[in-house]
Amino acid sequence: MSWLTPNRRIGLLLAGAIFALDQFVKWLMLGPLALRDREVIELLPFFDLRWTQNFGVSLGMFTANSVETRWILVGVTALIALAVFIWMMREKAMWDIAALSLVLGGALGNIRDRYTYGYVIDYADFHIGTFRPFLIFNVADAAITIGVVIILARSFFLREKPSNTETDETGSSPAET
């Protein structure tokens, strides 16, 4: 299995770990902490656990108002997760694989919620007084966001530089000088 390089194996393990952590924390919210019944657990002056059922996707967009739209969202997000998995299996650089595995693990966690409950369980409420710089989120959302930020940063700051053998600053190739 030459396609399953050590870096890709690590990426799959990381995606699995993110999925497992996300599901474990959601189990804590539903089970031992009974957050659904309590609605809010104040932890710090700037961070609470707050029960939220997210029927939409990113930023609450594309809300699933019916059983049909719920399954459409499950299908579309599963296709996106499949595309991320294929992309991850084609990458070689560990940073790219790690970023994609964060996205994949988070996506799988949220897909499982939507499949199981019909909504995604969100609970992490970061706030400064009444100001909330983020919507209420979960481990999966945080992993997806961090993965996307890494992918964007690498694409903006680590672009391949053109080789000096093509042209110099005057526009002529080295063979012409």
Residues known to be catalytic = 122, 141
How many angstroms separate the CA atoms of 104 and 99, rounded?
Answer: 9
